[in-house]
């Protein structure tokens, strides 16, 4: 990887935009979902407190506990602890309850002071694991990936979630943040599964340049609902005020990625899809290239290609005319054309495009959204009989389901590795290499 000089910090805030937007697949975010109304919950138990022993970690940033036979998914706890859990969602007819650990009676040896005044029960929902170390968080994520692969795909995985270079022991890594604006015009973040705005004056996982340019101290004008902030690989801080108005154009950023002895610059929308950990792009590209080992002249199919990250580096090896990318966002495809001259890109639904595309594929790369690729896409890939497939997944459950579909059509993983590209949260990136059995 080439070293690059640290450039002066630049800051652009507002609506003075010069190019059209490219939304990509939509940014991967912390999945701050809203509570769903369930008519069959019965009498609400919200606010009730139970003393429980905390069991194993579960997918979603919580641990499993039981009280009088009922399952509780408890946030802000760690396996082996005894806590007072306060119910945050569910009733006496619910199949499970959600709860927060509001008091720790017996703490795990892995518990630490989270160091963030905005994390904890009833506070910001952006982080799940600030109450333990980055190393133990990777152990928890490892357990989740193992459980999902075994339960949903019947795969026994003995790997370990790996750290990604570029964060400060789990902090300061997030280069794209979606802030809300409080009634007082200050930056805020949403509470967990809530519309509540938690006012903040710093964010532990956000890139430190966001604070250095003064955004936390700024008072924004009335009428704004949010601020999307991006820190580029060139250390420029770009902020887009929300809501967008008619005629607003979203800025296009320049992101530089060095991998496999080469360097590429990519155009990408400030609100489009891009890996948010500064070390993720290089780590993932180099891993996929090393595992697939492309050779000159091979045909590469890049599905959910975004603005062409993988396409660019594969084109260096196989030749740009041998690369075909498919992406749902037309603006992202326009940027992919600019980013990877000579390669071909198609805008459209991946499943629908695979139904009639006659393109050959020696190698396939797919990086689908959190919901996964699905059975039909996996079957369409297998029908092309590629010699190898790289599946880049941001959700281990979706990956496991798709690996089960792949097994039905004759493809099995030869390698599964997981990366901690989202420290302090429950999210984890997993890359599976599939080959025909």
Task: Give the pLDDT confidence of 208-232 residue by residue, as tens digits.
Answer: 999 999 999 999 988 999 999 999 9
Q: Is residue 129 part of a domain?
A: no
In this structure, the answer to whether residues 43 and 15 fall within a common structural domain is no
pLDDT of residue 189: 97
Q: Is residue 189 part of a domain?
A: yes
Has residue 24 got a pLDDT over 50? no
Number of domains into which the chain is organized: 2
Rg of the chain taking only CA atoms, in angstroms: 22
Q: Are 175 and 277 in contact (CB under 8 A)?
A: yes
Identify the band that residue 139 occupies on the pLDDT scale cut at 50, 70 and 90: very high
Tokens 């997944």 belong to: 393
Q: Is residue 139 part of a domain?
A: no
Q: Are 212 and 172 in contact (CB under 8 A)?
A: no
Identify the band that residue 115 occupies on the pLDDT scale cut at 50, 70 and 90: confident
Mean pLDDT of 106-112: 97
Has residue 30 got a pLDDT over 50? no
Range of the domain at 47: 36-119
In this structure, the answer to whether residues 25 and 99 fall within a common structural domain is no
Least confident of 128-132, 242-246, 296-300, 424-428: 242-246
Has residue 361 got a pLDDT over 80? yes
pLDDT tens-digit series, residues 254-274: 999 999 999 999 999 998 899
Q: Are 389 and 433 in contact (CB under 8 A)?
A: yes
Q: On the CB side of 283, how many CA atoms lie within 13 Å of its CA?
A: 20
Contacts of 413 (CB under 8 A, 6+ apart): 155, 403, 406, 432, 433, 434
pLDDT of residue 2: 33
pLDDT tens-digit series, residues 152-208: 999 999 999 999 999 999 999 999 999 999 989 999 999 999 999 999 999 999 999
3-state secondary structure of 275: coil
Has residue 6 got a pLDDT over 60? no
Q: What is the mean pLDDT of the chain?
A: 91
pLDDT tens-digit series, residues 61-71: 999 999 999 99
Mean pLDDT of 25-50: 64
In this structure, the answer to whether residues 392 and 339 fall within a common structural domain is yes
In this structure, the answer to whether residues 23 and 43 fall within a common structural domain is no
Mean pLDDT of 350-368: 94
CATH number (domain holding residue 82): 2.40.50.140
In this structure, the answer to whether residues 355 and 384 fall within a common structural domain is yes
Q: Are 275 and 290 in contact (CB under 8 A)?
A: no
Question: Closest Cα to residue 24, out of 257, 357, 267?
Answer: 267
Q: Is residue 2 part of a domain?
A: no
Mean pLDDT of 376-388: 97
CATH number (domain holding residue 400): 3.40.50.150
pLDDT of residue 358: 87
114 annotated ligand-binding residue: no
Q: Is residue 213 part of a domain?
A: yes
Has residue 379 got a pLDDT over 90? yes
In this structure, the answer to whether residues 76 and 148 fall within a common structural domain is no
pLDDT of residue 22: 33
Q: Is residue 422 part of a domain?
A: yes
In this structure, the answer to whether residues 106 and 197 fall within a common structural domain is no
327 annotated ligand-binding residue: yes
Burial class (CB within 10 angstroms; exposed 0-12, middle 13-18, buried 19+) of 206: buried
Identify the band that residue 246 occupies on the pLDDT scale cut at 50, 70 and 90: confident
DSSP, residue by residue, 152-208: HH-------PEE-TTSBTTBS-BSEEEEEE-TTS-EEEEBTTS--EEE-S--TTB-H
In this structure, the answer to whether residues 88 and 175 fall within a common structural domain is no
Q: Is residue 315 part of a domain?
A: yes
63 is catalytic: no
Identify the band that residue 16 occupies on the pLDDT scale cut at 50, 70 and 90: very low
In this structure, the answer to whether residues 23 and 47 fall within a common structural domain is no
Q: Are 351 and 368 in contact (CB under 8 A)?
A: no
147 annotated ligand-binding residue: no
% of the chain at pLDDT higher than 90 = 85
pLDDT of residue 422: 98
Q: Which of 63, 124, 127, 394 is catalytic?
A: 394
In this structure, the answer to whether residues 232 and 329 fall within a common structural domain is yes
Has residue 36 got a pLDDT over 70? no
pLDDT of residue 14: 47
> The pTM is what?
0.90
pLDDT of residue 38: 54
| DSSP secondary structure code for residue 387 in this structure | S
Has residue 248 got a pLDDT over 90? no
In this structure, the answer to whether residues 80 and 151 fall within a common structural domain is no
In this structure, the answer to whether residues 354 and 411 fall within a common structural domain is yes
Has residue 39 got a pLDDT over 70? no
Q: Is residue 362 part of a domain?
A: yes
């Amino acid at each position: 990887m080439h070293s690059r000089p640290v450039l002066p910090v630049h800051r652009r805030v507002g609506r003075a935009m010069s190019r059209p937007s490219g939304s990509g697949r939509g940014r991967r975010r912390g999945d701050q979902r809203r509570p769903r109304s369930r008519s069959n919950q019965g009498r609400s138990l919200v606010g009730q407190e139970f003393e429980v022993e905390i069991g194993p970690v579960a997918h979603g940033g919580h641990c499993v506990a039981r009280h009088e036979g009922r399952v509780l998914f408890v946030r802000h706890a760690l396996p082996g602890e005894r806590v007072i859990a306060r119910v945050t969602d569910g009733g006496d007819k619910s199949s499970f309850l959600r709860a927060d650990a509001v008091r720790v009676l017996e703490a795990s040896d892995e518990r630490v002071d989270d160091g963030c005044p905005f994390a904890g029960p009833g506070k910001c929902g952006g982080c799940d694991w600030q109450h333990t170390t980055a190393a133990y968080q990777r152990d928890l994520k490892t357990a989740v990936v193992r459980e999902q692969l075994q339960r949903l795909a019947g795969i026994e995985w003995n790997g370990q979630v790996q750290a990604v270079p570029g964060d400060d022991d789990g902090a300061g890594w997030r280069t794209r943040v979606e802030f809300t604006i409080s009634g007082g015009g200050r930056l805020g973040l949403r509470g967990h599964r809530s519309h509540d705005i938690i006012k903040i004056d710093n964010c532990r996982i956000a890139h430190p340049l966001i604070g250095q340019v003064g955004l936390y101290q700024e008072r924004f004008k009335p009428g704004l609902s949010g601020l999307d902030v991006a820190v580029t690989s060139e250390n420029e801080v770009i902020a887009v005020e929300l809501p967008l108005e008619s005629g607003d154009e979203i800025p296009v950023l320049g992101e530089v990625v060095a991998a496999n002895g080469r360097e590429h610059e990519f155009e990408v929308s400030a609100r489009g899809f891009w890996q948010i950990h500064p070390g993720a792009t290089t780590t993932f590209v180099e891993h996929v290239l090393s595992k697939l080992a492309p050779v000159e002249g091979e045909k590469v199919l890049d599905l959910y290609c975004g603005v062409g990250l993988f396409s660019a580096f594969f084109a260096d090896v196989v030749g740009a005319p041998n690369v075909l990318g498919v992406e749902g966002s037309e603006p992202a495809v326009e940027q992919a054309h600019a980013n990877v001259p000579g390669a071909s890109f198609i805008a459209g639904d991946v499943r629908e495009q695979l139904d009639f595309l006659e393109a050959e594929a020696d190698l396939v790369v797919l990086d689908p959204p959190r919901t996964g690729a699905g059975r039909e896409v996996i079957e369409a890939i297998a029908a092309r009989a590629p010699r190898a497939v790289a599946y880049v997944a941001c959700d281990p459950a979706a990956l496991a389901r798709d690996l089960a579909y792949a097994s039905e059509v004759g493809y099995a993983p030869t390698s599964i590795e997981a990366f901690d590209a989202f420290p302090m949260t429950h999210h984890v990136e997993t890359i599976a290499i599939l080959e025909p059995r």
